[in-house]
Structure 1
């Protein structure tokens, strides 16, 4: 059972196995997903594929038979699209005024993953506003972003609890974490943060019974009370934590850090991949570094914990596994491709999504046992090697994978 997702599931009303409500699936109980596809190929196991959602790098979210995803059309106009899970049919599409933010290559890209709940879907619309829509596409409210919010820093994925949507705005000129009321879009609270230029996103978790928003960004990991915005605990003197989001398993927070921009910070970044023990005693929070990752770095993907083991993937296609009890490295193996998506643990398997289309499925535990390798392909419009797997969502019997231009649904074959 993925304990971090199980803890977060109590914060958002959700179905047992037909909901993937946010980035990395936070808010769903993957233990309720009975099965996922084990075998597929470019000619087998693919239920449908659709390019109707436009270009983008954000993750799809799923709510009871509908897939919601943000994207941009060829002119750079932002859109929110709903697709039917069964066959990929477009249910509706909404556009936002203006254009989306550009990625580091100068191309239009939808980077922020929305969140979805019983009332609808909440999404960062381009660089201009946050929009709440009903499940049928009707707009409930729009919240225009301020100048300091609505720039290239407005690319982090959204997070949520039952009452609020949380948006992180990272800027060199000053950063903030904003809680917005789900019913109205009004600000519940705003936490000013230190200057931070990073691509990380907030997550919502519950530690010792306290719902909190956790941010790992540019040298610090900080936790804020979800109801009030008061900072609960923090740890600094980190480096390289500019992309992977934390992973919470009971009282343990796994922190990932990638290669830093400055070579002088490399040693510090190696020490910043760690397991942090967090406890609340008599209203005071205590922190302790339980163990480090033995000099292993993360890539863009978050580390995860599952069934007593922690898993790290790095930029060089290496998977490392650690015993959660003491941090002992039990194996470190080379994969076929680097992974930019967090590993997915479900149904007694761990799925590792290679960026160029290969998904390696392994057994959980202290030995590296490969169950299968699967491949999907996308149409290439250039001679450059394409990033095929940019984001993933999962519900019972279905994997939904996003490439830059397509949404691909892989469905379990009957023999599995």
Structure 2
């Protein structure tokens, strides 16, 4: 039982006056924190209130409940699931809940919220909140005749696709949006910075790294410009500067999603100079380990897998995939065979990790876990496929079926155990371009294109388009999110919530 002694403004396991933590107007906040933990609260009548700054109070209270009652707890997800990270709750691109099938400019759009600036990070969702990042320039960028700086002595930046112009100052912004209404709950500027390098003119931004949440805190990652930990009320808990200015190939820009596992935050910094894989304590930002990596520019998010009681971090990169011990950062195994510009994230099921590249020597490999050392050319590679692989989009793995989508709109479905195709390189009904990754929900695959349309395809061994939905003048680069039966689409300037009525859902 937890006593809140209102006559002294304190909380603790003891009902005596003068014990516990002091703060005015305590009741509502106490109930909000206590109820999810199953703590019985006894309130006593108030008479006077001491004074203490709100921010400090909230930090102390969060720590108090975590330390005293459930030190290893986190808020339980809702029955419809959350979308706490870039590839969804299980890192496979699949939602727990269903999602709408049909919508348009005038149908089933619950709300659309303007997002300032530019960003291609995907929304993440917990409880009643949506979180995303954006970069807001102080002024429109001016063209520059100066070339982009050289990239760490290995490969040049700049043209043909990167922005080789001087950039104005940008505010790196973290936002929270109400899931039900689309109202902006809070907006925080993590940092104001003059970027050292540009980004791909069509597909890049200074806010392309998708954040991650554990339901207590939000971790917003801006690559070279740092990582910022907030509580869900928007209060900064800690921040960390990586001490690096990444030089990306052709100045394409940064964009690797943050990864959270247990109490460890994993951040990868592969670029044209000397990079590293970084493990931080999620509670304090303290460094756990830092492993040097000599891989060139890479946009694939790391994947944490567990095999035979041992967790490891799998990181794809140009030419080679490597795996590291989750606790120490020491390399476990490596396997050559990937192409250049590695972007798709690995996925995992039943002791097999699937890694893919789609540019210059494209390849998809299914690698069985349990070995150490160099696995190149060994029978640890269960099967491989070099046709129809994704260049940008990460795959969806569900029900032993592996779905991959090319930038030009060819979809394949393979048997994940054997690599044999159910269907292979099937073109969609009309020409499309894709940069976002597919997501799945209740037997349906959602493909958000650059060309206004989101195509809904039936999941399974046969190719079938269920619906094509158009939102006018939209270009979808960010990967969608699904939670609570709703679909969230980030366009160039707005976040959309697609929501069907209960009757519409029941009719399907």
TM category (shorter chain) comes to 0.7 to 0.9
Supply the distance in 2 between the matched residues of 1:330 and 1:182 (Cα, whole angstroms): 42
Supply the distance in 2 between the matched residues of 1:145 and 1:325 (Cα, whole angstroms): 39
Q: Label 1:192 to 1:307 Cα distance change in 2 as closer, same or farther (>3 A).
A: same
**Distance apart, 1:211 and its partner CA:** 2.3
Do structure 1's residue 60 and structure 2's residue 156 form an aligned pair? no
**Distance apart, 1:32 and its partner CA:** 7.2
Show structure 1 runs of 5+ residues with no match: 1-10, 261-268, 379-385
Do structure 1's residue 24 and structure 2's residue 87 form an aligned pair? yes
Contact 1:355 1:390 in 2 (8 A): no
Contact 1:358 1:376 in 2 (8 A): yes
DSSP 3-state at the match of 1:25? coil
Supply the distance in 2 between the matched residues of 1:247 and 1:410 (Cα, whole angstroms): 27
Do structure 1's residue 36 and structure 2's residue 68 form an aligned pair? no
Q: Name the residue aligned to 1:71.
A: 134
Most deviating of 235-244 and 87-96: 235-244
Q: Label 1:339 to 1:205 Cα distance change in 2 as closer, same or farther (>3 A).
A: farther
Supply the distance in 2 between the matched residues of 1:62 and 1:128 (Cα, whole angstroms): 23
**Distance apart, 1:181 and its partner CA:** 0.4
Do structure 1's residue 216 and structure 2's residue 316 form an aligned pair? yes
Contact 1:78 1:95 in 2 (8 A): yes
Q: Name the residue aligned to 2:199.
A: 103
Q: Label 1:276 to 1:192 Cα distance change in 2 as closer, same or farther (>3 A).
A: same
**Distance apart, 1:298 and its partner CA:** 1.1
Do structure 1's residue 48 and structure 2's residue 143 form an aligned pair? no
Supply the distance in 1 between the matched residues of 2:391 and 2:194 (Cα, whole angstroms): 25
Q: Name the residue aligned to 2:484.
A: 396
Aligned residues: 389
Supply the distance in 1 between the matched residues of 2:400 and 2:501 (Cα, whole angstroms): 30
Q: Label 1:413 to 1:240 Cα distance change in 2 as closer, same or farther (>3 A).
A: farther
Which whole-Å deviations, capped at 9, do the CAs of 1:70-122 have from their partners, x for residues lacking one?
00124221100000000111111110232375322297531111110132100
Q: Name the residue aligned to 1:278.
A: 369
Relative contact order (alpha carbons < 8 A, sep ≥ 6): 1 or 2 greater?
1
Q: Label 1:205 to 1:217 Cα distance change in 2 as closer, same or farther (>3 A).
A: same
TM-score normalised by L of structure 2: 0.71
TM-score normalised by L of structure 1: 0.86
Contact 1:169 1:175 in 2 (8 A): yes
Contact 2:305 2:348 in 1 (8 A): yes
Q: Name the residue aligned to 2:499.
A: 411
Q: Label 1:308 to 1:12 Cα distance change in 2 as closer, same or farther (>3 A).
A: farther
Q: Name the residue aligned to 2:382.
A: 290
Supply the distance in 1 between the matched residues of 2:327 and 2:76 (Cα, whole angstroms): 20
C-alpha RMSD of the superposition? 2.7
Q: Label 1:94 to 1:70 Cα distance change in 2 as closer, same or farther (>3 A).
A: same
Q: Name the residue aligned to 1:8.
A: none
DSSP 3-state at the match of 2:87? helix
Query: Higher strand share goes to which structure?
Result: 1
Q: Name the residue aligned to 1:89.
A: 183
Bigger-Rg structure (1/2):
2
Most deviating of 18-27 and 41-50: 18-27
Contact 1:278 1:287 in 2 (8 A): no
